[in-house]
Amino acid sequence: MKISLKNLSITLLLGAIMLFPSFVVGRISSGNTIELRIEDFLLLFFGIVALAYFLVNGKSKFRKPPFFMPILFWLAIEFFSVLINLILGNLFVIDRAIFYFLKEIELIFLYFFVYWSLEDIKSIKNVIKFTLFFTALNVAYVFYQIVVHNQVGEYGTAALPEYGVFPTGAFFVLLFIFLLSYFIFYYNNLDRKLWKKILMGGIAISPAVGVFGSGSKTNFIALLFSFVAIFLLAFFKKNTKTAKMFIIGFIVLIFLLAFFAYSVLYIKNIVRIMDIFGLHKIVSNYSSGRIVVIKIVWKELYDKFNQQPLSILFGFGVGYITEAHNQFLRNFGEIGILGSLAFLVMIFLIFREGFRIYNNSNDLFLTAMGVIIIVMTSAMMVFSFTTDPFFSVKTSEVYWFFMAICAAVTSMESKRGIKENKSVNIY
């Protein structure tokens, strides 16, 4: 009974993240909108239930997920930064700082809760099945917008839970990484009927359509980077059938070219999309657009740090910067050198765990999880040069949700004895 309830909670969370958009409930003093999501209420409810369970049953210990201490240390510095800047009066928009910090806590709780709820392979099997189904719904929604010429996204097509250009594209990029890695490193190597592999492969590559439709340059670059990274990792992994990988890669390329050819005929904004994804346009966008903003923000921070030199250690508090267009710049300005180092250490440990799994395991499913950790985190770093993905709610939700799945599987490596040359059949 407990397992079924946990499965239900994870399914509801996944459905809320992948199917339902946010809604505005008000504004803070700076004018920024307060947006809530269905998953906010679900996490609040599940958090209360989990706390009550621990108190009623007298639980004093719980399973610590991977990266537990680095994540807590990062959050602790954020908390201290907000607290000290409230005392010093550097945070002029107090409600924004509190709101953004609470949102950070919620995103990390999402990671912890999903990890704690996934205690067996059967649970993960259900999550992956629903992920495939919800992905198909989102891609169908993109095609619907294309066919009826009603692209409701910020620039082009939207996802079901998001219309903003970067969050929509990043949403599809992360889905693409998760499903394509799972397919190439695990499912394609199983003894399955051809039609099942074709169906699975089709769903795995279909999020690329959403990336093109969103019209986001940053996500387009991240998609190409992720595609190359996945196939390079497949090429160098000895237990992967390299010839099949090249065949699959060719099929993916044909699919993308076919979609682009279709777009030329039917998408009303195709001229704009072709212009967006042109190399000259991408370069000019970063040189004359985002880099200019980054320079302006950096100049403001430089002047501010000159006035308060000690603030360089802890920054000026979460929410201090409105638009950074760079995750590393936001970290430096809001949580200082110490917070930036904590963030980089956390990312390093995540990468190290991913490569440890990739290099040392011959288990197909476990290897797929290692690749997902590597490529998904790499994509977040690609995003970070021109956006702040860990500050973007939808992007962070998807990242931490799938990271929790990978963390649960890696923990089962020792708990359940998932060792080399022993395959775990989850599908």
Pick the closest to residue 18 from 161, 132, 155 (CA basis): 161
Q: What is the pTM of this model?
A: 0.88
In angstroms, the CA 354 to CA 357 distance is 5
Per the model's pLDDT, the better-predicted residue between 101 and 254 turns out to be 101
pLDDT in tens, 268-323: 555 555 565 565 555 555 554 455 556 666 677 777 777 877 878 888 888 777 77
Instruction: Average the pLDDT over 54-79 and give the result.
Output: 84
**Residue 59 C-beta-side C-alpha neighbours within 13 Å:** 11
Q: Using pLDDT thresholds of 50, 70 and 90, give the confidence band for residue 425.
A: very low
What per-residue string of b and e applies to 149-175 under the rule 16 or more CB within 10 Å gives b? eebebbbbbbbbbbbbbbbbbbbbbbb
Amino acid, single-letter form, for residue 29: S
pLDDT at site 198: 86
pLDDT in tens, 28-51: 776 777 888 999 999 999 888 888
pLDDT at site 77: 93
Strands (DSSP E) found in 28-68? 33-36
Pick the closest to residue 77 from 392, 351, 337, 350 (CA basis): 337
Pick the closest to residue 142 from 204, 198, 220, 208 (CA basis): 208
**Does the structure show a pLDDT above 60 at 18?**
yes
Q: Using pLDDT thresholds of 50, 70 and 90, give the confidence band for residue 394.
A: very high
> What token pair was written down for 86?
């409230």
Share of the chain above pLDDT 90, in %: 33
Query: 181-195, 283-297, 331-345, 358-372: which range is least confident on average?
Result: 283-297
In angstroms, the CA 315 to CA 332 distance is 6
**Residue 184 C-beta-side C-alpha neighbours within 13 Å:** 33
pLDDT at site 1: 38
**Does the structure show a pLDDT above 50 at 391?**
yes
